[in-house]
Amino acid sequence: MNVDYTLLAAQVRAFAESEPNWLPLLANTSALLYEVLPDLNWAGFYLNDRKNPQELILGPFQGKTACIRIAYGKGVCGTAAQSDTLQLVPNVHEFPGHIACDSASNSEIVIPLHAEGKVIGVLDIDSPLLERFDGRDAAGLLLVANALEETGDFKERI
Ligand code: SME
């Protein structure tokens, strides 16, 4: 897909320059990604639940209502958070333990987010298309994640 991820990352940095607080920053980033990237049915964030550190809790997103809690190690999001590795899933139905929040999802990409060297949550993007995401999307979304990590104020989430 011909998406200018460098421009997207620059837009995220511009959001943070006007307001670095994590909540509006992640809310506007999910809206931007959902608007600009073609063929998505969900784009948003799961963040560490500070009362229960081995659990992710639903954060800002665009798309249909979604699962609220995901344990570390469970599903694509929990696997990305626990292993601190990007998950590029061409067919979610072949991913052991995939959590189907929206039955329209067929492929998914999940990128861990960090603050002070620790995983604080994940960026999760879903598509109704099989094999929607490739290495260019992974590299581009890492630029977006880096922009968030470098410019956002995540102190409350650590
Ligand atoms: N599919 C995800 C759950 C989150 S929804 O896609 C929004 C997973 O398996 O972790």
CATH number of residue 28's parent domain: 3.30.450.40
Helices marked H in 19-120: 22-36, 75-83
Phi (first) and psi of residue 42, to 5 degrees: -165, 140
Q: Is 60 in the pocket of ligand 1 (CB under 6 A)?
A: no
Longest CA–CA separation in the chain, Å: 41
Q: Is the pLDDT of residue 39 over 90?
A: yes
pTM: 0.97
Query: How many domains is the chain built from?
Result: 1
Q: What is the pLDDT of residue 80?
A: 98
Atom of ligand 1 nearest to the CA of 126: 6
Q: Is 132 in the pocket of ligand 1 (CB under 6 A)?
A: no
Give the range of the structural domain holding residue 146, as residue numbers without chain letter.
5-157
**C-alpha distance across the termini of the chain, in Å:** 34
Confidence of residue 1 (pLDDT cuts 50, 70, 90): low
* Residue closest to 20 by CA, chosen among 152, 158, 154: 152
Atom of ligand 1 nearest to the CA of 95: 9
Of 40, 65, 70, the residue with max ligand 1 atoms within 8 A of its CB, to mutate for a pocket test, comes to 70
